[in-house]
Structure 1
Amino acid sequence: MAKRLIPSLNRILVEKIVPPSKTSAGILLPEKTTKLNSGKVVAVGPGFHCSNGNLIPISVKEGDTVLLPEYGGTEVKLGDKEYHLYKDDDILGTLHD
């Protein structure tokens, strides 16, 4: 049975994207060119209630590709996959084609 994690409050579950270390022609890429720290949003929490009781929703949705901070997040292992939990305000932005 596979486990599914639903983040609480304003947290986001992200699967980091590992950039390729070589091109399709087999040329090895330097480590600094593969440094972009991005991930795919797997699950989001419901948001959080501010002091006046209004719900502030999460700014990203499942399936979004996001830019992550270099440090931070909480590593979570579910089955054989690794994920990271971030707070909504830790996400630096969304990436679009």
Structure 2
Amino acid sequence: MKLKPLGDKIVIKVKEEEKKTTGGIVLPDSAKEKPQQGEVVAVGSGEMIDGKKVPLDVKVGDEVIYSKYSGSEIKMDDEKYLIVKQNDILAIVEE
């Protein structure tokens, strides 16, 4: 199954947080922080501004940081995805 976001929506594959601390302690799900980083796997066709479609700033493959409680979480094929608007993306991670 493939997701195709509409308009200014972006699908992000959520990067899982480590389940162990550096000291080797296993953390329960309730103690883990909500992830804020992931990889863009699909982008919509663009945002409508003044009646014109403007392309999005991110592209498939970009590693991004997004707002902590933004978007809608979905699970497909045992993977977590997040669908967000471009405004919910804070930065593109560059190496």
TM over 0.5: yes
Aligned residues: 92
Unaligned runs of 5+ in 2: none
Amino acid at match of 1:95: V
Going from structure 1 to structure 2, the CA distance change for 1:35 and 1:84 (only over 3 Å counts) comes to closer
Amino acid at match of 1:93: A
* Identical counterparts, % of pairs: 35
Matched residue, 1:91: 89
Match of 1:9 in 2: 7
Relative to the length of structure 1, the TM-score reads: 0.77
AA aligned opposite 1:13: V
Q: Which residue pairs with 1:56 in the alignment?
A: 54
In 2, the alpha carbon distance for the partners of 1:35 and 1:49 equals 31
- The answer for unaligned runs of 5 or more in structure 1 is none
RMSD across aligned positions (CA): 2.5
Greater strand content: 2
The DSSP-based 3-state class of the residue aligned with 1:63 is: coil
2:6 partner SS: coil
* Matched letter for residue 72 of structure 2: T
In structure 2, C-alpha distance between the alignment counterparts of 1:36 and 1:85, rounded to whole Å: 14
* Alpha-carbon spacing, 1:96–1:28, altered in 2? closer, same or farther (3 Å): farther
Aligned-pair distance for 1:37? 1.8
Would you say 1:20 and 2:24 are equivalent positions? no
Q: Shift of residue 21 of structure 1?
A: 4.0
